[in-house]
Structure 1
Amino acid sequence: MLAIDKISGRSRWCHRDPRLKLGCWVVLMSLALGLPPAGQAVLAALIAALSCWMLRVSLRRWLGWIAIPCGFLLLSTLTMLLSAAAQPAGMLWSVPLGFTYLGVLPAGLDMANHTLWRSLAAISATFWLVLNLPFIQLIALLQRCRVPVLLTEQILLTWRFIFILLDEMQAIYQAQALRFGYRTLRGSYRSLAMLAGMLFSRVMVRYQQMATALEVKLYQGDFHL
């Protein structure tokens, strides 16, 4: 989350109107869903090049980000690609497994091809929006889209508590590491268990401190966003 916040803050489009960014995302998503597989592949490549230029990052770093969801995408595509049948007739490729054959059908290959490139283009477009839209602009965009205030407040508080969670986790981990808590495998498991327990209690303390601060400021149940 810290990396996303920093990257979106140094984007070339950091100060552009968030409605323009949302409009561009809608156009990119429409193309990602409507183009044929070859066009979707070209669109994904163009979005990657555009993102690297706008975010001032290398292509290698962009591919590292996109590789995380692509791992799940390739796994789901593989399940579409492979089919099981009693006979290998009609399969482009097959291997016997007991009394059945595992192989690739033309329909499965076509479905996997369409799903892979469509999903890759859509993921690239969504990454482009997330990494070019600072959190402050996201809140402003939600307000302009007339999103319920309660939902906007929940998103804001969740974002805030992510940083609190990371801050507390880093402090506990550094204290354990200084005491050689991760020197052995057994000690690492024990330290991780202690970290999880202490993290929950520390976050609850921070929550109580925030609630007390809000009461002192005469909090009436609404955040002035």
Structure 2
Amino acid sequence: MITNVFDRLSYQSRWFAVAPERKFGCWLLMMALAFSLPPVGQAALLALLAVFTCWLLRVSLWRWLRWMALPMGFLLIGVLTVLFSITREPQHMLFGVSVGNVWLGVTPQGMAAANSTLWRSLAALAATFWLVLNLPFPQLILLLKRGRVPRILIEQILLTWRFIFILMEEAAAIHRAQTLRFGYRTLPQGYRSLAMLVSLLFTRVLLRYKAMAVTLDSKLYQGDFHL
């Protein structure tokens, strides 16, 4: 489970005891560099962040690359939309194909914009991963409180974080039971099992929510969480 893994890693970070304000300040500096440096500088920042993150978390570079690959599909789609242009003047293109009365291809400006977008996005993504992987959730709550974030918003974030784990635990339990009963042996059977998983997941999460509400009532919950 990705969320559980990230949460555990934040507790084994070499910077676990560092104040959350300092971590947030470092992240702001990284983001400023990611958006202001040229592509060469952004690539260098990306490499530096990779080494720094792996050293702090005591993980391999291969594992870090797998984390970075998670949102890569969305990033590549965005870069491709910047890279390709539609024009009626093909002489300005590096290469292209005719589509009716227009040409679809790559211009020098599109190539430069796509290159800049790619490295800027990768550097910003690596900086954000660095913050997430080195900031345990209790420190995030502390940072939000010191930042004068409204209490109700902090409580919503806390509950959402808690229910992410509940959702993943229930989904894993249902999927494990279905797998033991060969629920994903064939493609049609897999689709039926997936539909059942979604339906059961909604029901079981509601039951967990009701159980939590009963627990809070038994502890004389007055509408405020202790933060």
Which residue pairs with 1:170 in the alignment?
Answer: 172
Measure how far apart 1:27 and its partner are. Answer: 0.8
Equivalent residue runs for 1:28-39 within 5 Å: 28-39=30-41
Which residue pairs with 2:71 in the alignment?
Answer: 69
Which amino acid counterpart does residue 157 of structure 1 have in structure 2?
L
2:224 aligned residue (219, 222, 225): 222
Q: Secondary structure at the match of 1:182?
A: coil
Equivalent residue runs for 1:178-197 within 5 Å: 178-197=180-199
1:162-206 deviation per Cα after TM superposition (whole angstroms, max 9, x unaligned): 111111112222222222222222222211111111111111111
Segment of structure 1 superposing worse, 10-19 or 170-179:
170-179
Equivalent residue runs for 1:36-47 within 5 Å: 36-47=38-49
Which amino acid counterpart does residue 127 of structure 2 have in structure 1?
A
Which residue pairs with 2:112 in the alignment?
Answer: 110
Cα-Cα RMSD? 1.2
TM-score when scaled to structure 1? 0.95
Measure how far apart 1:16 and its partner are. Answer: 1.1
Change (3 A) 1:90 1:185: closer
Gap runs ≥5 in structure 1: none
1:131 corresponds to 2:127: no
Equivalent residue runs for 1:192-203 within 5 Å: 192-203=194-205
2:24 aligned residue (19, 22, 34): 22
Measure how far apart 1:100 and its partner are. Answer: 2.0
Output the CA distance in 2 between the equivalents of 1:223 and 1:214: 10
Q: Secondary structure at the match of 2:104?
A: strand
Contact 1:21 1:133 in 2 (8 A): yes
Measure how far apart 1:109 and its partner are. Answer: 1.7
TM-score when scaled to structure 2? 0.95
Gap runs ≥5 in structure 2: none
Segment of structure 1 superposing worse, 113-122 or 142-151:
113-122
Output the CA distance in 2 between the equivalents of 1:88 and 1:109: 15
Output the CA distance in 1 between the equivalents of 2:35 and 2:118: 11
Output the CA distance in 1 between the equivalents of 2:184 and 2:110: 47
Q: Secondary structure at the match of 1:222?
A: coil
Q: How many aligned residue pairs are there?
A: 225
Which amino acid counterpart does residue 12 of structure 1 have in structure 2?
R
Output the CA distance in 1 between the equivalents of 2:128 and 2:70: 14
Segment of structure 1 superposing worse, 142-151 or 90-99:
90-99
> Percent identity, aligned pairs only?
60
Which amino acid counterpart does residue 165 of structure 1 have in structure 2?
L
Q: Secondary structure at the match of 2:224?
A: coil
Output the CA distance in 2 between the equivalents of 1:11 and 1:2: 15
1:142 aligned residue (124, 141, 144): 144
Which amino acid counterpart does residue 179 of structure 1 have in structure 2?
R
Output the CA distance in 1 between the equivalents of 2:112 and 2:185: 50
Output the CA distance in 2 between the equivalents of 1:63 and 1:23: 24
